[in-house]
Amino acid sequence: METWDEPEVRSLLATLNRAAPRVYLVGGAVRDRFMGRDRGNEVDLLLDGDAVAVAERVAGPVGRGVAFVPLDPARGTARLVLGRGSRTVTIDVTTLRRPTLEADLAARDFTINALALALDDFLAGRSGPVLDPTGGLRDIEAGVVRVCSAESFVEDPLRILRAFRFKADLGFRISDETLELIPASLPALAGVAGERIRDEIIAMLAAERSTDSLREMDRCGLIDALFPDLAPMRGLDQNPYHHLDAWSHTLEAVRQLEILLTAADRFGDLAQIVRSYADEEPVAGRPKRALLKLALLFHDAGKPHTMSVDTAGKVRFFGHEKISLEIFQNAGSRLKLASRELRLVGDLVAGHMRPMIFTLDRPTPRAVFRLHRKFGSDITGLVLVFLADLTASRGPARPPETYDHAFRQALSALRVCFERERESVPPLLTGRDLMKLFDLKPGRFLGGILKRLAVLQGSGEITTREEAISAAEALLRKRRMERMEE
């Protein structure tokens, strides 16, 4: 059963339908209905009357389960929210702003959204008649994103990003005349709130395939307008481990991540874990798959600032991940990302070189445990970013067998980490034990010993309390020797 077929939702819609002379379902819900797509949990209604007053009256008293949110009273827009959590349904109600419904629709962003269906017909299960003043049904059939008018981007520059979001989400192409309008409106994006830009970018990156949108955004100058710090990567030649310049490599890495996520069966018994991880939402509506792509967009941003050539003529980028992190943090702050999103993407950008241990013959258990200790459950994201980055690097210095080898090693490490999480093994020695055994006091030194013991235990190098005590004694002796030499 679709969300809109649930009794409480239909009851709310029916109440809204009775509350005004004319009520219409408009925009994406009508479009998706004709595309046979799931209409999701959001719907837009247009009505003849005071939409804010109608919505407040329909919501009724607090506690009924329907929340009233006055989004923009001056423009006659309010929101009703029904339910909680994954069952939340959002209904935006707007007052008719033009003399006619046709004129109101023609003032919308794109033809594919300039559609209206009487709410009566929607509730009765009828597919028409649909009001379509700009040829939106024709463009849906042709798979085209087209502005309703030449003034569309002038009225709201954010619609530029929305065009690329629809391209990624629907698999449509953007019409030539729409693309031609973009460059003149790019400067106006500077005046758009970071939160609005963030929501469109994340929605675009959350699509199964967004690389084509990123490439076209790049061609029309949108990437430079949004993230000027990425521009120096364009045309930056790398070392023999890469076959593409830094920016082309970045876009290819995003594409490779999308391939990994759409072919998750390649991960075998870990496939469901990978899919579930990509679907997780640190913030509602903003899945990790989008954040992984964002990490890849910035993972090499520091390379132009760290490029050097050694005496043998070899190109190096020492410490580029630290500069990449700084560049991302500035961009992420402008986008008003939540702290947990900033932390996740920042950790992936800063740590994207660490899984190179998987290209070795066999990484040590200690190295794998350190990765797991640092990234926790996000080691899945780190591995996905690493594999996408590696697969996008096809230079002559990297043997072809590197990729399959690294993939096997990474999967093996993930299995070990997941098994360790399931076991939840308690520490062999606690801080209290160390203080009692060695007359230590709480502090940084004690914490350092506990961390080292955790690494040794996690890697399987110590397995008993006696071995842990011996290891602690060795660490203490080493510390005393270091102090004597100071």
- Which residues fall within 8 angstroms of residue 407, CB to CB, at 6 or more apart? 387
Q: Which of 131-145, 386-400, 438-452 has the lowest mean pLDDT?
A: 438-452
- Which residues fall within 8 angstroms of residue 354, CB to CB, at 6 or more apart? 371, 374, 382
What average pLDDT does this structure show over 80-99?
Answer: 82
Encoded tokens for 22: 């004319």
What average pLDDT does this structure show over 449-461?
Answer: 72
- Flag whether pLDDT at 3 surpasses 80: no
Query: Looking at residue 16, what is its pLDDT?
Result: 92
CATH topology of domain 1-142: Beta Polymerase; domain 2 (3.30.460)
CA atoms of 13 and 20, how far apart (whole Å): 12
CA atoms of 427 and 458, how far apart (whole Å): 9
pLDDT band at 39 (very low <50, low <70, confident <90, very high): low
pLDDT band at 484 (very low <50, low <70, confident <90, very high): low
- Average pLDDT across the chain, whole number: 89
Query: Looking at residue 26, what is its pLDDT?
Result: 94
Peptide bond into 129 cis (omega under 30): yes
**Could you identify the residue written with the tokens 């407040």?**
56
Peptide bond into 183 cis (omega under 30): no
- Which residues fall within 8 angstroms of residue 465, CB to CB, at 6 or more apart? 428, 429
pLDDT band at 289 (very low <50, low <70, confident <90, very high): very high
End-to-end Cα, the chain, rounded Å: 72
Q: Which of 92-101, 393-402, 415-424 has the lowest mean pLDDT?
A: 415-424
Q: Which of 4-13, 99-108, 125-134 has the lowest mean pLDDT?
A: 4-13
Each residue's pLDDT tens digit, 114-170: 999 999 998 888 877 999 999 999 999 999 999 999 999 999 999 999 999 999 999
Nearest Cα to Cα of residue 80 among 59, 65, 110: 59
- Which residues fall within 8 angstroms of residue 7, CB to CB, at 6 or more apart? none
- Flag whether pLDDT at 485 surpasses 70: no
What average pLDDT does this structure show over 333-346?
Answer: 96
**Could you identify the residue written with the tokens 């929605």?**
203
| Residue type for position 181 | L
Encoded tokens for 79: 């929101």
Query: Looking at residue 367, what is its pLDDT?
Result: 85
Query: Looking at residue 1, what is its pLDDT?
Result: 44
For 87, the 3-state DSSP assignment is helix
DSSP 327-374: HHHHHHHHTT--HHHHHHHHHHHHHTTGGGGGGSSS--HHHHHHHHHH
Report field, pTM of the whole predicted structure over 0.95 = no
What residues does each domain of the chain span? 1-142, 149-226, 238-423, 431-485
- Flag whether pLDDT at 62 surpasses 80: no
Query: Looking at residue 386, what is its pLDDT?
Result: 96
Cβ atoms of residues 483 and 474 within 8 Å: no
Q: CATH for 149-226?
A: 1.10.110.30
Q: What percent of the chain has pLDDT over 90?
A: 59
Nearest Cα to Cα of residue 356 among 332, 381, 389: 389
pLDDT band at 468 (very low <50, low <70, confident <90, very high): confident
